[in-house]
């Protein structure tokens, strides 16, 4: 098997956050193809995260970030399994990045996951999207498809875990967390967050 270029290993590590040996193994597996190696590492990380999903995460930390000249502030609580990991610089950086994302993302997240969106909010959005779609004069079947598509987009836009990470839009927040779980080796979850804008009452979770 041909040796893998150390520069490629370094590039893949920076891109995925995976360990050096895992990156080397992925590049050897896909003969230096960065994209395929990165996808394999992410799928592997997702499998690791799934195995840890039912484990208790009662430790962690609260991170904060102030943005836009003191006009936007965020606090976020992120949980992990042990105090040891809570003191890990990798975990602490993740918490700070999440607070920064919530403060700076173009669409303010309202909920952590789509499952938390109240049925009343979905019903209101559905009614609005239906009324707007009817104005196009298209058949009811097409209108139903348009409305469902807009509802799916609406849910993704306001759910933190489905938003593109502001520092790397190729990753969703959920994918970012999955990568960190694979690297750190513990379950990690966002428990709640609050976002303040000067003079406004922003929704908090």
- Measured CA to CA in angstroms, residue 95 lies from 23, 52, 103 at distances of 24, 19, 13
Which of 17-26, 104-113, 121-130, 187-196 has the lowest average pLDDT?
17-26
Global confidence as pTM = 0.71
Tens of pLDDT along 94-121? 999 999 999 999 999 999 999 999 999 9
Which numeric CATH code is attached to 59-111+159-197? 3.30.479.20
Number of H-type helices and E-type strands within the chain: 8, 5
pLDDT at 57 over 70: no
What is the model's pLDDT at position 90?
Answer: 92
| Residues of the chain above pLDDT 70, percent | 88
96 and 66 Cβ atoms separated by less than 8 Å? no
User: Which superfamily, per CATH, for 6-52?
Assistant: Ubiquitin-associated (UBA) domain (1.10.8.10)
Closest CA to 112 of 54, 45, 172, 168: 172
């Amino acid at each position: 098997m041909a040796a893998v270029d150390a520069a490629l290993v370094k590039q893949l590590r920076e891109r995925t956050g995976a360990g050096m040996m895992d990156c080397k193994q992925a590049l050897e597996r896909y003969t230096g193809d960065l994209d395929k190696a990165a996808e394999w590492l992410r799928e592997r990380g997702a499998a690791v995260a799934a195995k840890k999903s039912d484990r208790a995460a009662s430790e962690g930390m609260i991170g904060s970030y102030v943005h836009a000249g003191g006009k936007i502030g965020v606090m976020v609580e992120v949980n992990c399994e042990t105090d040891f990991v809570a003191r890990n610089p990798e975990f602490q950086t993740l918490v700070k990045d999440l607070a920064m994302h919530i403060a700076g993302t173009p669409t303010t997240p309202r909920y952590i996951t789509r499952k938390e969106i109240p049925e009343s909010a979905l019903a209101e959005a559905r009614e609005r999207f239906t009324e707007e779609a009817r104005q196009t004069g298209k058949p009811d079947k097409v209108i139903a498809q348009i409305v469902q598509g807009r509802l799916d987009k609406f849910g993704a836009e306001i759910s933190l875990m489905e938003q593109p990470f502001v520092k790397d839009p190729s990753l969703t927040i959920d994918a970012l967390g999955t990568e960190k779980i694979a690297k750190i080796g513990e379950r990690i979850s966002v428990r709640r967050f609050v976002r303040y804008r000067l003079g406004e009452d922003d929704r908090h979770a």
